Each structure stands twice: as structure tokens, then as C-alpha cells.
Chain A
């Protein structure tokens, strides 16, 4: 399996622009997570889905952030409008609990908002 696939790997955008991050989870995994990592705050869970349904979005910082999972093989995290403080690495991860709660992470999307 190719693992969790994220795109883009790197993005530099101007403040106020819309940013869309994409994720393809591992086939057969029914949980999908979006995390954000910064030096100051470490790894923070933004939102997670089970069978394409959002379960907990309490980590989404504000209304500028939204996430969707239209099907089992695709999810997006959108930031509109983007701000410099959104600069971070955004990780998508997926899991299949019957495998013992192993959560597999993608390589991350490195976002810089200038």
C-alpha cells in the first residue's frame, strides 16, 4: 500500500488566499484525522472522521477552517481566508481500529502564509 498520501507537500501563499489541502487515506481505513504541527503547540488534532462522518471538530481553530470527506478515499482541509498564523505542517492520518489502534500519518503539507 502507498500509505497516506497528501498534497501539496509544500505551499506558499499570500495572506487572504484560500488554501486547500488534500488527503487520500489508506484503503480500508475507516478513521481519518487532520493534525496540525507547530513548534509552539506541537501536534494538535483538528478534526477526525469515522466512515466519512465528522466525529469531533472541537480542535478546528475557527470558522476559517473547514474539512470535508465526500468519500472513503478523499478528504480536504480548507482555510479561507488564510493568515500568517496558519503557517504550520498539516498532517493527515488514517487508522483501522481492529489493527490495534495504529494510526498512520502522511508526509505532511508544509504551509507558509506570507
Chain B
């Protein structure tokens, strides 16, 4: 079993839709959780970072972590064509330690 599981998609939505991206993880020791966005032929870039359980909001993006169910979510409101990318969730034990990534979900937002 992979430590971080993510539905690879692809996921296609119309512009303006609310997008929900989800991951599950198996390592209960994970403390830090991240969402990265990766455009085609580019390196991943950090979108959101949360510590332990809870919600974090940044503009149109909201990250949620539920440690009791080992579930990580990313919500995108008012999705835009520029949001079309692969989204990767990741977890790690402590600050600076290795990140373990899900396989990524490919998202397309159609104008």
C-alpha cells in the first residue's frame, strides 16, 4: 500500500465550478501536509501547507486535513482555465523531512 493515495483522474470541469481534490494517507505520524501544483513540463510549486488537522484558506483555495480519518482535501472555488494542472498532495513527519507524494490528479478547467 502506498503511504499517500490519490485518484489520478483525469478530472474535467467547466469554468466557475467548485473542484474537490482528495487524498488518503496511511502514516499516522505525518504532521505536515501540502498541496503542490504542477503545470505541464514544469516543476511542482507549493500551493498550500497545513500543520496537523484543520482548515486553511488562501484566496480561492481551501485545504482541509482530518487526521482522524487520514484524509486530505483541496477545494478550488470559481475554478479558472489557468487552474488546469496536476495537483499533488504530500505528507511528512517533521519540518524538513522527506515529503511523500500522492501520484497526482490531472485537472482540466474548460472555458
Contact = CB atoms under 8 A, between A and B. Distances in A.
A91 B41 CA distance: 11
Given A105-B43, A107-B42, A108-B43, A100 B49 contact: yes
B17 interface: no
Contacts of A107: 42-43
Contact of A101 (B36, B41, B42, B95): B95
Q: Choose among A42, A48, A97, A105 the residue with the greatest number of B CB atoms under 10 Å from its CB.
A: A42
B65 to A, nearest CB: 14
Size category, A interface: 20 to 34
Contact of B45 (A41, A97, A105): A105
Interface in A96-114: 97, 100-108, 110
13 contacts: A4-B43, A42-B88, A43-B101, A43-B103, A93-B43, A100-B95, A101-B49, A101-B92, A101-B95, A103-B46, A105-B44, A105-B45, A107-B43
